């Protein structure tokens, strides 16, 4: 679907809101997502300006929003974002959350039309051995994805992959790793074991995770219970050896919005010794699930089968941790509650700012 055109005036209004430290976090976030979905080149420039040109102690800088903006630059699929993402990765004044997201965004662009994949590969290699674990691991996974992209052009792996199912559900999302091919025929339990095995390389564990996600989606398509693969996937919230992997598991659970994953996600948010990038992603996932549980998108017969305590637990945890000492966690809880309320509201249809003209 072609995005609705947005005037320069409105784009600049969104950009000004994003840069306004006096605006509410919610309004800045909605402006950010409006820019993400706008097709105009100016939207990319405004997002890139926010990511690249503001660092603490500037009051404009915000780790959560800048990492989301870096994510959006990768998901838009514009090669023009590459130099900005490289600038963000190389800026050691940025926290790891932003630099990692910029690296993941760079890797996401490697499969897009008009991109010099060899140049992206060279750039990712520059940081693949970084002393910052999350940045190094992000680049390592990205390099493996590039290897896969290059190999599938001769092996035709894409035609065998269940990724098409994910595209139906998440048409505007670029995954950091592909699912396994359908002819590999892993069981849910085998995928869980791969996901949890720290002796396996991260790319393999990521592929297991996304294949489990596809099994959940297939169950939803078949109108059977998705709880078994979703619960096995949620075990990945405690996967040993990689906070990067655990945070991606939380992100995927937020995509899927399966109610039975509320308890493990809540436990994750409560783990104050867990990496903030994992806890923040778990909080955002809870917001997505809460909105679905409370909203108009579930039919009455499905809703009646979902324990009410899932709704209560998700909302209670998010409210509790709006006062967390970690800024990225407490801000994620604030936004998660707003997203949940927005999804559940019958008057609203899209969280991002939308053009008014």
d(CA 118, CA 88): 19
Least confident of 19-23, 108-112, 313-317: 108-112
Give how far Cα 84 sits from Cα of 49, 55, 70, 119, Å.
8, 14, 9, 14
- H and E: helices and strands count for the chain: 18, 0
Q: In this predicted structure, what is the pLDDT of residue 74?
A: 96
pLDDT band at 31; cut points 50, 70, 90: very high
Per-residue pLDDT reduced to its tens digit, 38-77: 999 999 999 999 999 999 999 999 999 999 999 999 999 9
pLDDT band at 154; cut points 50, 70, 90: low
Q: In this predicted structure, what is the pLDDT of residue 163?
A: 56
Place of tokens 């990225």: 328
Is 280 assigned a ligand-binding role in the annotation?
A: yes
Q: In this predicted structure, what is the pLDDT of residue 341?
A: 87
How many percent of the chain have pLDDT more than 70? Answer: 90
pLDDT band at 3; cut points 50, 70, 90: confident
Per-residue pLDDT reduced to its tens digit, 272-331: 999 999 999 999 999 999 999 887 444 444 444 677 899 999 999 999 999 999 999 999
Q: In this predicted structure, what is the pLDDT of residue 357?
A: 58
pLDDT band at 348; cut points 50, 70, 90: low
Per-residue pLDDT reduced to its tens digit, 226-271: 999 999 999 999 999 999 999 999 999 999 999 999 999 999 999 9
Question: What is the SS3 assignment for 93?
Answer: coil
Is 248 assigned a ligand-binding role in the annotation?
A: yes
Is 215 assigned a ligand-binding role in the annotation?
A: no
Least confident of 57-61, 88-92, 105-109, 343-347: 343-347
Give how far Cα 169 sits from Cα of 68, 163, 164, 259, Å.
21, 10, 9, 17
d(CA 120, CA 196): 29
Is 100 assigned a ligand-binding role in the annotation?
A: yes
Per-residue pLDDT reduced to its tens digit, 185-236: 999 999 999 999 999 999 999 999 999 999 999 999 999 999 999 999 999 9
Residue pair 146/110 in contact (Cβ under 8 Å)? The answer is: yes
Domains parsed from the chain with CATH numbers:
1-155 (1.25.10.10)
Q: Is pLDDT at 153 greater than 80 in this prediction?
A: no
Is 247 assigned a ligand-binding role in the annotation?
A: yes
Is 227 assigned a ligand-binding role in the annotation?
A: no
Least confident of 54-58, 124-128, 142-146, 337-341: 337-341
Is 101 assigned a ligand-binding role in the annotation?
A: yes
Q: In this predicted structure, what is the pLDDT of residue 4?
A: 86
Q: In this predicted structure, what is the pLDDT of residue 159?
A: 38
Between these two residues, 339 and 198, which has the higher pLDDT value? 198
Residue pair 198/230 in contact (Cβ under 8 Å)? The answer is: no
Mean pLDDT, to the nearest integer, of 108-113? 92
Q: In this predicted structure, what is the pLDDT of residue 301?
A: 46
Instruction: Spell out the residues 6+ positions from residue 164 whose beta carbon is closer than 8 angstroms to its own.
Output: none
Is 67 assigned a ligand-binding role in the annotation?
A: yes
Largest CA distance in the chain: 54
């Amino acid at each position: 679907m072609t995005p609705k055109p947005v005037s320069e005036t409105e784009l600049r209004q969104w950009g000004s809101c994003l840069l306004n430290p006096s605006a509410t976090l919610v309004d800045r976030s909605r402006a950010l997502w409006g820019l993400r979905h706008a097709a105009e080149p100016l939207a990319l420039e405004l997002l890139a300006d926010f990511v690249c040109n503001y660092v603490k102690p500037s009051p404009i800088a915000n780790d959560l929003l800048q990492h989301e903006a870096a994510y959006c630059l990768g998901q838009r699929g514009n090669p023009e974002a590459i130099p900005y993402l490289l600038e963000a990765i190389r800026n050691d004044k940025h926290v790891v959350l932003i630099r990692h997201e910029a690296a993941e965004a760079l890797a996401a662009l490697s499969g897009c039309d008009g991109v010099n994949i060899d140049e992206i590969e060279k750039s990712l290699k520059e940081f693949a051995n970084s002393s910052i674990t999350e940045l190094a691991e992000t680049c390592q996974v990205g390099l493996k994805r590039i290897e896969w992209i290059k190999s599938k052009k001769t092996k035709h792996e894409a035609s065998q992959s269940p990724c098409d199912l994910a595209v139906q559900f998440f048409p505007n999302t670029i995954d950091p790793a592909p699912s396994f091919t359908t002819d590999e025929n892993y069981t849910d339990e085998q995928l869980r074991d791969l996901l949890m095995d720290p002796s396996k390389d991260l790319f393999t564990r990521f592929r297991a995770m996304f294949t489990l996600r596809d099994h959940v989606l297939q169950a939803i398509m078949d109108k059977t219970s998705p709880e078994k693969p979703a619960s096995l996937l949620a075990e990945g919230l405690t996967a040993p050896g990689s906070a990067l992997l655990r945070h991606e598991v939380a992100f995927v659970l937020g995509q899927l919005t399966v109610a039975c994953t509320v308890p493990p996600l809540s436990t994750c948010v409560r783990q104050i010794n867990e990496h903030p990038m994992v806890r923040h992603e778990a909080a955002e996932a809870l917001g997505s699930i809460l909105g679905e549980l409370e909203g108009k998108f579930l039919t009455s017969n499905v809703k009646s089968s979902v324990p009410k305590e899932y709704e209560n637990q998700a909302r209670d945890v998010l409210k509790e941790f709006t006062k967390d000492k970690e800024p990225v966690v407490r801000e994620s809880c604030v936004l998660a509650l707003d997203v949940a309320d927005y999804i559940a509201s019958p008057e609203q249809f899209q969280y991002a700012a939308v053009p008014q003209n």
